[in-house]
Amino acid sequence: MAKKKGAPPAAQQSAPKRGGRPIVAIVGRPNVGKSALFNRLSRSRLAIVEDIAGVTRDRLYADADAFGTSYVLVDTGGFDPDSDDPMTQGIASQVQIALEEADAVICVLDGTQPPLPADREAVNLLRRAELPIVYVANKIDRPGTGAVAAELYRLGIGELMEVSALHGHGIGDLEERLVQIMPERAHDEAPEEGRPPRIAIIGRPNAGKSSLVNRLLGEQRQLVDDRPGTTVDAVDALYAPEGADPLVLVDTAGIRRKRSVERGLEMLAVMQAINAIERSHCVILMIDATAGASEQDAKIAGLALDRGRALVIGLNKMDALDAEGRAKAFEQARELFLFAPWAPIMRVSVKSGRGVQNLIGKVREVTKNHKKRVTTGELNRFFEEVLEHHPPPTQSGKAVRLYFITQAAFAPPTFVVSANYPDKVHFSYQRYVSNQIRERFGFEGTPLRIHYRPKTKREREDG
């Protein structure tokens, strides 16, 4: 890849550490190839909040990975502050909002055109943001076109990386640079010793998230209103009742369907809700029982599960229903969350306080399960029983054998199973092993990760 290096710009310093995965925003004027680069870096994965927060793109957020470093990629839309188009003006405000949450920025420029006034405005905005920045000249698809890209140095940037988002040229070098400038983030660690666990409270608008915080704190700490969008910032509050370990409660904005999301502050609210999940150890998903659990709630739960967070579902406003309505609401929720049958569903009425302490008690329990460790000896005694009772089936003429299991990590609990044919372990048997682990050792409320791998050389030598 062709690069021209000058004095390192001040904005290339590392960003400060904070919890959760780094957030990388893609910024640039319209038609420079931001969406193509977004798709290339996210490897065409489905956007995290595809049906939740898209304003000008079908894909606004996506999980991405660069050389083993995972991060959240954000497409901000075309930046053109001089446009008279109200939609474009809204995008300009979105870009500024996105920069408040970003840890690093990719500024995309068109490598086939000289710089335009909108490019200069974007660069000036980024200088004021004081974030680590990678400047990219896109559309460098064939030799010789980079000469035009050199004119972009008139913008006063110190280094320009030439890429083709369409064909993939230079993407590896771009990802390597991102890894260098992104801050280190402890996103899969258990709560630090002596520090209280963080509990993110998420859900659709008006599900009772802020009311739950107020009920627990015994004060009108959070503004409560029937109108959606009352909560914008993700607000931390220390909950330290007498005689119990403290928790940090993180109240977040309601996450609505994509077509319901407004521009500006609500975009920031959704970003902060995602960041709160990244920084949490357990998530409470609040659901309005009078409205019923919906596919939107399932998608919000998916945000937590994708990140390996413990999950408790709070079915709120049960006091507003009769006995038949309460039973129907619970069964509807249980059916919706069949993909996470281990997540407890707690019946609560935040308004009256009924069930709230049971909810928090369950949160404490699943948070402990989230960081639970099982010794290797216990695991393998259990595993011998499992294999004796129900050995893995033969697949494609291969006799599958499982030899050894160990817990490799916690928060979430992660297990590694040694096998002669790891890729031949049928998904139904993998589910059986997971269910057996839960039945023996608990782990209510936390996702489990189980990886199958070949025997190591040392394991083969040991027999």
CATH fourth-level superfamily of 198-370:
P-loop containing nucleotide triphosphate hydrolases (3.40.50.300)
The residues that bridge with 63 in the sheet, in sequence order, are 72
Phi, psi dihedrals of residue 373, rounded to the nearest 5°: -120, 140
> Scanning the structure block, which residue is given the tokens 């990140």?
307
pLDDT band at 393 (very low <50, low <70, confident <90, very high): very high
Which is nearest to 360 in space by CA: 342, 336, 344?
344
CATH of 376-461, one of 3.40.50.2000, 3.30.70.1290, 3.30.70.2190, 3.30.300.20: 3.30.300.20
pLDDT of res. 416: 96
Alpha carbons 405 and 382: distance in angstroms, whole number = 10
* Yes or no: domain 3-181 corresponds to CATH 3.40.50.300: yes
Mean pLDDT over 370-398 rounds to 93
Which pLDDT score, from 0 to 100, does residue 79 have?
Answer: 65
Is the pLDDT score of 419 beyond 60? yes
334 pLDDT above the threshold of 50? yes
The 10 Å Cβ neighbour count of residue 45 is: 15
The pLDDT score that the predictor gives to residue 374 is: 96
Q: What is the pLDDT of residue 42?
A: 85
Q: What per-residue confidence (pLDDT) applies to 105?
A: 93
Q: Which residue has the higher pLDDT, 352 or 268?
A: 352
44/46 Cα distance (integer angstroms): 7
Q: Kindly tell me if the per-residue pLDDT of 81 is higher than 70.
A: no
Which pLDDT does position 125 carry in this prediction? Answer: 84
For the stretch 223-270, pLDDT in tens is 444 444 444 445 678 898 988 999 999 888 777 655 544 544 455 666
Residue 242: CA count within 13 A, CB half-sphere:
1
- Judge whether 294 and 265 are in contact, CB under 8 Å: no
Domain residue ranges in the chain: 3-181, 198-370, 376-461
DSSP code of 196? P
**What order of strands is seen across the sheet that includes strand 133-138?**
3-5, 159-162, 133-138, 104-110, 23-27, 69-75, 61-66
Q: Quick check: do 3-181 and 198-370 share a fold?
A: yes
Enter the tokens of residue 1: 């890849």
Short-list 268, 272, 297, CA closest to 55: 268
Higher per-residue confidence, 419 vs 125: 419
pLDDT above 70 as % of the chain: 75
Q: What is the pTM of this model?
A: 0.65
| pLDDT at 190 exceeding the cut of 60 | no
C-alpha 458/C-alpha 53 separation (Å) is 49
Question: Cα-flanking dihedrals φ and ψ of residue 74, to 5°?
Answer: -125, 125
Looking at residue 93, its pLDDT comes to 57
The closest alpha carbon to 100, from 44, 34, 18, 156, belongs to 18
Q: pLDDT averaged over the chain? A: 81
CA dist., res. 344 & res. 349, Å (int) = 16
In the prediction, which pLDDT does 77 show? 66
Residues 6+ apart with CB under 8 A from 150: 4
Residue 239: how many other CB atoms lie within 10 Å: 17
Q: Which tokens sit at 402?
A: 């499982």
Strand locations in 263-369 (E): 282-288, 310-316, 345-347
H runs (alpha helix) in 342-456: 356-370, 376-389, 427-441
CA distance 155 to 152: 6
Q: Please tell me the predicted confidence (pLDDT) of residue 151.
A: 87
The tokens of 338 are what? 């069949």
**Taking the mean position of all CA atoms in its chain, how far away is CA 193?**
24
